[in-house]
Structure 1
């Protein structure tokens, strides 16, 4: 691991903020690093308020979208709510459809089949709309590049409203309204909403003429928080407010579908990390293993017993997904080992029978092992489909753009993308991708980095420090859980490897003459036991540990040397 200490902020600002807030210098330093430099900034950060949610009509085309939906409701038109099969798409469809059903009964949902139709707006979906007399399609978490498909729908007298957050291309589809804060001609104050977040802005706007206030939309925020967590969008600005209130809904009064999922795992209070690792994979499993419709039915189900049944089915899909993901990862690792005779900057693997629903997860697993931009391909109809994942700091979307001569279709973000290509272009693409990455990547990025907020002495760790850190949640990109470094610590001599296969490390550490010890756990650091015989440096986050009713502060080690 590369340890990178964040640059120290202006010391006068840190001192002034520590005084204003009555907090330790370490907290003030972390806040200044996050551009929270005054009492007012801190108030906005620590006390997220619904009053700070932006006016939805600041988003370009929002007035057109609302006008068209109101017209459809007045004329009793059939509206099809269309969205992608991942967590962001299925939560967005569930949110918009459940709100629209409070206004009109003429609402149906459509999730494309991951295997038959692929990602995004599909011709099959438009044909379904035509066959079933839908005159308006609201596309969520997709559509920003669906130029031909929107034109195709137009020929059939079907209007489109697009709600997306992916990077637009040079041309915007000719839809009634295109809601996307990343449009160059859109000046909405926050451009990092997820797809479900854009859907939320749409229903918020629909509520304005109905004299609904923001509090009435809070029950929908369990879906928005789930999408924010799963889509790994920045946890600052409007996203932080939406996630903060959404987590409260998840923990206090979630919709039946989320309650049924949580019921399966029997955890009392969920953090944003729990949403990422407990709720999101189960919602995703429906689209990966069976069909995204299951997720929408679960999340819109009004009857709790029925929701429990959906959740039980999804639990089985998730167990199957785990088995497949392990099997394919093992097969992919063998391919990489077999090709290790030359030094490579990328991992690109392909097997025609790999399950398309888990190749994105497998790509992430391969990065855990080899830490380089990774593509996992499988056969999809008469083409090859791939999921791309990247390492921190490297834009895989731009790298794919540089290989576009060999690609049929691609889309996504800086760190995650999807693409299709013709089988005969696979080798040329693989070579070109390797060439592009090898020429453009900073070689340091091929070693995982731990970004450290600040160095502290163990004596600075107090219950008050932990209490303030906990108030900085929810954590995510741009607001990660603070990471500390402490130097020249020692173990009290009882350090040991723990876990069924001894892969984890359990220590009790102290520093200098201060004999106060802190329990420390290092997941997957069991092989570092030999390094703790003398003084060593540690990088860690802080957690509350509860054992036999006794609460203590625990260091969660990320690395040591």
Structure 2
């Protein structure tokens, strides 16, 4: 992929501010400037950023309806009503259900959980789930990571004598369901200071409020923070504000004392003994939890997450790992087919978006395929398949573009839709697909900025190799955990040369292992450039080139740093 490099040199005022902040916090002006770019401009804000404290979590009772939700839960327990914890079948939903169920189960036994089947019931609250709840004598359902648009279903539940507490983070419609309480920081009338919690995060806030109301020490919630870290990473929500606190301490929990179920997944992933990062969750832990709901039923993922016996958990994790291998095969085949379609559609080159439909694609994997195409073609993408006689699908977006608004503009053509800025689920009649494609593409074309359809690397700082010290690397680690709104810092060094020992590596000779020097010092730095072997000939020509990279630990030599090179371009003469 050819990247456009985007770099805004700091102004003289920014340089002065970075120098002053750096002196106050004992950090280089390079990194102090990174803080300023993230809106962190004072010594106290920098200390809060680097050392997020659990006592800085927002009071959960600032969320609309929280007092009502806690009162209804207390009443249910007092009356010994049967409670159901109900959630979506993705990582966010499964971790949210596991968190709420595990916490409440310590104090109350008349409780169970339910995950709808993706293929039999579809997304959200289902009639089948409600009938099951009625048969079981359920009086209260706590629904997590869905429910905000389930107006008819919750009205029907009320007729069955079932109350609902909704814990959701998806964008609501103008009309809200008639639930006892709706906990959602994205409500238009929301008074909660932080809008970007994931579904599991909303569930955590509910349990925090319940604990506070009942005099339960906050320390009882800490073992559940690993679920929050997993959901925050997998659901790709901004890692700033309250999410940063939850992710920071959740990662700490995941590394030091993970729950039995997550420990089993860590073992299966081959991550035991390594420091687990948000990236490990996104690429290894999350997909395995998701695979259960994609290939079979998400209930198996929750069974694993709440398991207390490690041997049983390892057996369940192995089973889910098999689903993940199946998912990879289906995903690869569908992505190849989708790529062939896009390449054949010459007209796609004139559109700012992609809309594909194939009735034979597997419903559980279309979201992944949409993500792959978005990364490959750098355009908002909708992938649809046929399910129960209608087209159902997933939309994914590029950085900075709100695909939810684009889908919403076509709502009169849709049976259902829901989601947030970068990911939306939708369904529509098959005969409406041509009109939907036309209108969606027209809306995107009119509202997307040209730079949003380019693969761009946003460079944080241009530095020399002499700046890449062990201290700089150690200070950089304090910026973690990384994700949206706090990406891993990208550096650029100009006029670098092959030290003479760089070589092509990999099974198919697709990567380059580099040893590099620049023109301003004798420092030799190791680097790896994945999938960039096309640049090898130029590198070996002894001409200078520019690189954009992140600074990582060398996994083989812990005492050394390694540059993970994102792009290589010939230096300008």
TM-score, with normalisation over the residues of structure 2?
0.95
| C-alpha deviation, 1:350, in angstroms | 1.6
Which of 299, 304, 313 does residue 319 from structure 2 map onto?
A: 313
**Correspondence for 2:10:** 8
1:324 and 1:478 mapped to 2: Cα distance?
32
1:559 and 1:368 mapped to 2: Cα distance?
15
Does the 8 Å contact 1:256/1:302 carry over to 2? yes
2:412 and 2:26 mapped to 1: Cα distance?
58
**Correspondence for 1:557:** 565
Does the 8 Å contact 1:73/1:103 carry over to 2? no
Where 1:486 maps in the other structure, the secondary structure is strand
Per-residue Cα deviation, 1:486-517 (whole angstroms, up to 9, x for no partner): 11111123332211111112221111142211
Q: Name whichever of 538-547 and 226-235 sits farther off.
A: 538-547
Which of 27, 32, 47 does residue 28 from structure 1 map onto?
A: 32
Where 1:551 maps in the other structure, the secondary structure is coil
The aligned runs of 1:63-142 (5 Å cut-off) are 63-142=67-146
Q: Name whichever of 134-143 and 331-340 sits farther off.
A: 331-340
Where 1:474 maps in the other structure, the secondary structure is coil
Per-residue Cα deviation, 1:95-135 (whole angstroms, up to 9, x for no partner): 11111111211111111111111111122211211121111
C-alpha spacing 1:157/1:342, structure 2 compared with 1 (3 Å): closer
1:401 matched to 2:408: yes
Does the 8 Å contact 1:50/1:214 carry over to 2? no
| C-alpha deviation, 1:266, in angstroms | 2.8
The aligned runs of 1:315-330 (5 Å cut-off) are 315-330=321-336
The aligned runs of 1:237-256 (5 Å cut-off) are 237-256=241-260
Where 1:384 maps in the other structure, the secondary structure is strand
Which of 146, 150, 157 does residue 146 from structure 1 map onto?
A: 150
| C-alpha deviation, 1:341, in angstroms | 5.0
1:497 and 1:404 mapped to 2: Cα distance?
50
**Correspondence for 2:544:** 535
| C-alpha deviation, 1:80, in angstroms | 0.9
Where 1:514 maps in the other structure, the secondary structure is coil
1:425 matched to 2:432: yes
Which of 206, 212, 229 does residue 208 from structure 1 map onto?
A: 212
| C-alpha deviation, 1:371, in angstroms | 1.7
Does the 8 Å contact 2:225/2:250 carry over to 1? yes
**Correspondence for 1:338:** 344
Where 2:128 maps in the other structure, the secondary structure is helix
Where 2:509 maps in the other structure, the secondary structure is coil
Which of 45, 49, 54 does residue 50 from structure 1 map onto?
A: 54
**Correspondence for 1:279:** 285
The aligned runs of 1:143-542 (5 Å cut-off) are 143-267=147-271, 268=273, 269-340=275-346, 343=349, 344-532=351-539, 533=541, 534-542=543-551
Where 2:174 maps in the other structure, the secondary structure is coil
1:420 and 1:62 mapped to 2: Cα distance?
32
Q: Which stretches in structure 1 are left out of the alignment for 5+ residues? A: none
Where 1:476 maps in the other structure, the secondary structure is coil
Does the 8 Å contact 2:466/2:520 carry over to 1? no
TM-score, with normalisation over the residues of structure 1?
0.97
Does the 8 Å contact 2:18/2:33 carry over to 1? yes
| C-alpha deviation, 1:242, in angstroms | 0.8
Per-residue Cα deviation, 1:52-97 (whole angstroms, up to 9, x for no partner): 1111111111000000000000000011111000000000001111
2:367 and 2:432 mapped to 1: Cα distance?
21
| C-alpha deviation, 1:300, in angstroms | 0.6
1:22 and 1:98 mapped to 2: Cα distance?
42
Per-residue Cα deviation, 1:205-264 (whole angstroms, up to 9, x for no partner): 111133223222100001111000100111111111111111111111111110111111
2:226 and 2:497 mapped to 1: Cα distance?
44
C-alpha spacing 1:76/1:426, structure 2 compared with 1 (3 Å): same
Aligned residues: 560
Does the 8 Å contact 1:373/1:388 carry over to 2? yes
For the aligned residues, what is the CA RMSD?
Answer: 1.4
Where 1:516 maps in the other structure, the secondary structure is coil
2:189 and 2:376 mapped to 1: Cα distance?
41
1:446 and 1:500 mapped to 2: Cα distance?
32
1:278 and 1:43 mapped to 2: Cα distance?
31
Does the 8 Å contact 1:89/1:140 carry over to 2? yes
| C-alpha deviation, 1:8, in angstroms | 2.5
1:513 and 1:241 mapped to 2: Cα distance?
40
